[in-house]
Amino acid sequence: MRLDLALAACAATLLAACATDPAQAPAGASPQAPAAVAGARAESQQLHVLLDEYFEQQLELNPLLATSIGDARYNDRFEVSIAPEWRARAERVERDALARLATIDRSRLTGQDLLSYDVFKSARQLEIEGYRFPEHLLPLNQFYSTPNSFAMMGSGKGIQPFRTVKDYDDFLKRLDGLVAWTDQAIANMREGVTKGYTLPRVLTERVLPQLEAQVVAAPEDSIYFGPVRDMPAGFAAADRDRLTAAYRAAIIGKVVPTYRKLLGYMRDEYLAQCRNTVGLDALPDGAAWYAYNVRTITTTDYTPAQIHEIGLREVERIHGEMR
């Protein structure tokens, strides 16, 4: 979820890259006075600086986002976004960005700059609002799962590049993030149990085989061994031997124990405490949480009931055309 929101947050920065020149008045408009032109340019420049700096902060906060767009600077890092320290940092970035945006005179912006301003403001407000909901206490499910995302990267078929020796070393370092994330996830789920936030039992049951598939007897049986099999032929023999040994050790010493630990917790402790309900509305403040998710996904202010009514009308319309 955090990666999805970070991708959306970057949209405003990309919009600003195509900004119109505030010095050029729209066709048919009266020429602007030099002072007004200078002021408009100053506000535009201030906005661009803010968006650029926010974008860089997001890449640092979300190394997987950087990797996904081909920025290799953070390919050896993984931030535990469900940890309280990370959440505090991320929220601070959002609030600081919103405060800086308020110092920019919106009335002096035009064209793409004005659109970027409004999109950026709306996105920051929505992101800040989301921090009231304890998403971190439900850190995985059958669709969105850091253990599954890591397996995709570790297979060599995902966003993690495996073209150079450094790429291989980077992922070995990034694996430490999976270990840290798992410890935090277990702590968060235990906290969630005490506060009434658990996954539906039916979803937890579907997570278990996903985790179990990564608990293998031999390194060669692991999806994480894929990059070793597909190692570029141009690697020096010494690098091939070193990396092969390192990946074997990482799979046996980090990957398998980590998945086994999470599987054991969810199967032997968490499952029995999961709820039999399925909707978010069954959780504390769940109705508001669901409504927030609807606003985030649809980018509208429609309520869930209004969205549902639109769906019913569309089904009836389509059935009418079919008839």
pLDDT in tens, 199-227: 999 999 999 999 999 999 999 999 999 99
H or E element: which one contains 97?
Answer: helix 84-101
Residue 179, pLDDT > 90, answer: yes
Contact 98, 125 (CB under 8 A): yes
Residue 22, pLDDT > 80, answer: no
Which amino acid does the sequence have at 78?
Answer: F
Phi/psi at 19 (nearest 5 deg)? -60, 150
Give me the chain's average pLDDT, please: 92
**pLDDT value for 32:** 59
**pLDDT value for 39:** 73
What is the average per-residue pLDDT within 138-152? Answer: 96
Q: Cα separation of 5 and 150, whole Å?
A: 19
The SS3 call for residue 200 is: strand
Alpha helices in 131-200 (DSSP H): 146-154, 165-195
Q: How many CB atoms lie within 10 A of CB 140?
A: 25
How sure is the predictor about 38, in pLDDT bands with cuts at 50, 70 and 90?
confident
Least confident of 19-23, 192-196, 262-266, 301-305: 19-23
Contact 281, 290 (CB under 8 A): yes
**pLDDT value for 37:** 75
**pLDDT value for 10:** 55
Residue 44 CA neighbour count, 13 Å, CB half: 24
**pLDDT value for 20:** 53
What is the average per-residue pLDDT within 7-12? Answer: 52
**pLDDT value for 31:** 58
**pLDDT value for 29:** 53
Report the greatest alpha carbon distance in the chain.
76
How sure is the predictor about 1, in pLDDT bands with cuts at 50, 70 and 90?
very low
Residue 171, pLDDT > 50, answer: yes
pLDDT in tens, 270-290: 999 999 999 999 999 999 999
**Is this prediction's pTM over 0.75?**
yes
Residue 12, pLDDT > 70, answer: no
What is the average per-residue pLDDT within 232-245? Answer: 98
Least confident of 18-22, 36-40, 65-69, 80-84: 18-22
Beta-bridge partner residues of 200: 275
Least confident of 24-33, 178-187, 284-293: 24-33
Contact 130, 292 (CB under 8 A): yes
Contact 134, 195 (CB under 8 A): yes
